Every structure is written in structure tokens, then in C-alpha cells.
Structure 1
Amino acid sequence: MPEPPGWTLEPKWDGYRAQLAVHAGGRVLLRSRQATDMTGSFPEIRAAALGQLPADTSLDGVM
């Protein structure tokens, strides 16, 4: 698959595909591709997001 300028792509070999959203007020939401809330299953990711990412951040990736 060609990479657009400024992007990096990698294949998904294993794990979970999820979107992480950090909202104002300290709310973090981790959702699967089917929009299932997975936040409670990964408290370490929630804590890391709160400690390292600014509000209004959204990430999509594999964990």
C-alpha cells in the first residue's frame, strides 16, 4: 500500500485495533472498531493517556 507523504503505515499482525480519545476534563475513551468501550479493560493505557496526551487528542492504532 502506498504511503501518503508524512504518514507511516504498518500491517496489523496481532492484537486489538482501537481508537483512543482524550477529552477535556480528563475523560479517556478507548473503543474497538465496532465501537465497543474497552477503556476498563486497559487501565494502564488510560493512565498513560491522561499523563502524556493533551485534551482533544485522538489516536487510531493497534495495541
Structure 2
Amino acid sequence: MTWSLPEPMLTVAVDSPALPAGWAGEAKWDGYRAQLAMHASGRVLLRSRHGTDMTASFPEIRAAALTQLPADTGLDGVM
């Protein structure tokens, strides 16, 4: 079995900032959009929206994932 992350969900332009009921939004003012995966084997992968492996650039995030996330966790967000 191959271990991989899904493709990132990219933003799209809209005519109105109003959100449907039950939805939430988050502005990205600064920082990086990234996906983090914590594999059952203990491997942590942090990648950019373009697929670049950024794990080595953020050792503190890798260390936090190893100590605080359960196996087979995937996160997508701005850091």
C-alpha cells in the first residue's frame, strides 16, 4: 500500500464573502499553506500545496506531531 496525502484544496474567488450556514472560513494573511501527515510508522510529512516536502524546514512542527498526534492523522492548514 502506498502512503500519500490527498491533493490540497485550493482557494477560489467568490463574489461575496458570505458563507452558507454551517460553514466556516479563515483568512490567510501570512505564512504557509501546508498539509501534515502523521503515519502509523512514525513518519511525519509536511508538504506545501505544490507538493514540496517542507518537513526538514520545520523541525518543531515535526517534533510536536510525533508527541501530540495519533497515528494516521492528516491536517491541512496555514502555519
* Shared fold (TM-score, shorter chain, > 0.5): yes
Query: 1:61 and 1:8 mapped to 2: Cα distance?
Result: 13
Paired residue total = 62
Judge conservation of contact 1:3–1:9 (CA < 8 Å) in 2. Answer: no
Detail structure 1 runs of 4+ shifted over 6 Å in the superposition.
none
Structure whose alpha-carbon radius of gyration is higher: 2
State the one-letter code of the partner of 1:11. A
1:38 is matched with: 54
Alpha-carbon RMSD across the aligned residues, in angstroms, is 1.4
Q: Deviations over 1:20-44 (max 9, x none)?
A: 0000111000000000000000000
**Structure number with higher helix proportion:** 1
TM-score, normalising length from structure 2? 0.72
Identity across matched positions, percent: 76
TM-score, normalization by structure 1 = 0.89
CA distance in 2, matches of 1:14, 1:36: 18
Which of structures 1 and 2 has the larger relative contact order (alpha carbons within 8 angstroms, sep 6+)? 1
Structure 1: segments with no counterpart, 5+ residues: none
